[in-house]
Amino acid sequence: MTEKDRTMNADVFEGLGEAQLRHLAEGAREITCGKGERIFKEGDEATSLWIVKQGQVDLGFELPGRTAAEIHTLFTIPAGKAFGWSCFVPPHRYRLSAFCASSSCEALRLDREFLLGVFDKDPALGYRVMANLAEAVGERFKALQGWTTAVPYAQVKITVHLATCGIAAGAREVVNALVDEMAKEERPHIKMQTSGCIGKCSTEPNVTVQIEGEEPVIYQKMNGEKMRRVFQEHVLKGAALKEWVLA
Amino acid sequence: MVNLDTLEKVELFKDLDDRRLSAVGECCTEVVFQRGESIFKAGEEAGNLWAVAEGKVRLEAAPGSILQENEVSESQVFGWPSLLRSPTYRFSASCAARSARLIRVDSRCLQGLFEKDPELGYRVMSGLLRVLGDRFHQLQEEVVKHRGQDMMNQW
């Protein structure tokens, strides 16, 4: 299996065999773009399915009279996930604009006509991909439905303190857990950042959760498991976990 | 077993040949509901995909949702989460006509057919993606409209 075949291991290709992935890889084109660069525009003909290979892509809408950089993000697509599935849904128009949201983005582009040709020749492959795509859209539907029933979200900033002492104490595990949880939720109002030591080496790894309109909360002696709980309970539900808060 | 004339009108099964329609028919049962009667509730485990043979069905979201309700009529399907890995109904469904004749499709039975006949699976799941995509776009349009209005009001 080549490097290119391996990058085909996206959520929509789950369950496919090596030969099938190789076949799909033959029609994939690699695209690289920089932060803020538009990949496609809302209303464009949807001719391709896209896979984020590296970085993050924002999907959102643009407002009249505003620049493209002021896109209002609805979804953030992390590496390994697909976007642009409107290419399979009439009238085959992208409904949102796509922009590179990280310092750089690498994506794979697969044209609809190529994919339909492959599916016709190998219906088992077509079935898996369509079932996986339905799964992905179903998940996004669930997220969108959740947003419409909840009160508007406050902006949330999560800071992992990553100085040498923090890294030595396991801050990378904390970052990985946080990235994982954020990818599952796809909520663009939650931002993550890293920063230096806060002068409390004995309590590292420290994490600060700052919810708009509330006092920042600093957590101490964090690990991956604790980070996941803080994300679920504090960030998503608003209930700080007092037992881990730095006194 | 549901007769083939009824089944071939269902949006997901339109282009299937008689052999495949018959196989799908083995997974189906006809059920009649009266006005206002509940078919399923949001949050319940989704074991069946449903299609409307006659009448209308109302789909209702949780209170407070932007897309509050939706109507499904003849030949259309609803209950699509039943064909996904975590099958939970996203809306509540109830009969919106004096009576509605519905086709209840056992989703496990249907998925069993897909495994044996992937071409059937490919065709039906392509159709399901179109249905789901349409509903998704409808919901997304509402969200965009609301957020866009909120943002423009802030200018």
Q: Which of A133, A137, A147, A186 to mutate to test the interface with B (most CBs of B within 10 A)?
A: A137
Give the B-side interface with A, CB within 8 Å. Answer: 61-67, 80-81, 83-85, 90, 114, 118-119, 121-122, 125-126, 128-130, 132-137, 139-144, 147-148, 151-152
Distance from CA of B73 to the nearest CA of A (A): 20
Q: B137 to chain A, minimum CA–CA distance in Å?
A: 8
Q: Which residue has the higher pLDDT, A152 or B115?
A: B115
Class of domain A156-244: alpha beta
Are B121 and A149 an interchain contact pair (Cβ–Cβ within 8 Å)? no
Greatest CA separation found in chain B?
A: 60
Beta bridge partners of A84: none
Q: Which two tokens stand for residue B148?
A: 């866009």
Q: Which of residues 101-120 of A touch B (CB under 8 A)?
A: 119
Q: What CATH fold (topology level) applies to the domain A3-147? A: Jelly Rolls (2.60.120)
Number of structural domains found in chain B:
1
d(CA A84, CA A93): 9
Task: Enter the pTM of the model.
Answer: 0.74
pLDDT, one tens digit per residue, over A110-125 is: 999 999 999 999 999 9
Structural domain for B25, as ranges: 4-154
Cβ distance of A63 and B151 shorter than 8 Å: yes
Q: Where in chain A is the domain with CATH 3.40.30.10?
A: 156-244
CB–CB of A206/A222 below 8 Å? yes
Q: Is A147 on the interface with B (CB under 8 A)?
A: yes
**What are the start and end residues of each CATH 2.60.120.10 domain in chain A?**
3-147
Helix (H) or strand (E) holding B33: strand B28-34
With 90 as the cut, is the pLDDT of residue B17 above it?
yes
Exposure of A132 in the CB half-sphere (CA atoms within 13 A): 18
- The percent of residues above 70 in pLDDT, for chain B, comes to 88
**Which tens digit of pLDDT belongs to each residue from A203-214?**
888 999 988 767
The pLDDT tens digits for B52-83 are 999 999 998 866 555 556 899 999 999 999 99
Flag whether pLDDT at B151 surpasses 80.
no
Distance from CA of A119 to the nearest CA of B (A): 8
Count of CB atoms within 10 A of residue B115's CB? 11
- A240 CA to chain B: closest CA distance, Å? 26
Compute the distance between CA of residue A192 and CA of residue A190 in angstroms, rounded to an integer: 7
Least CA distance to B67: which residue of chain A?
A148
Who wins on pLDDT, A221 or A194? Answer: A221
Averaged pLDDT for residues B33-42: 95
Query: What CATH code is carried by the domain that includes residue B141?
Result: 2.60.120.10
A75 touches chain B (CB under 8 A): no
Question: Which residue of A lies nearest to B114 if distances are taken between CA atoms?
Answer: A127
Q: Is the pLDDT of residue B97 over 90?
A: yes
Residue type, A184: K
Q: Mark yes or no for CB contact A148/B121 under 8 Å.
A: no
Q: Is the pLDDT of residue A160 over 80?
A: yes
Q: Is the ipTM of this complex over 0.85?
A: yes
CA distance B98 to B33: 9
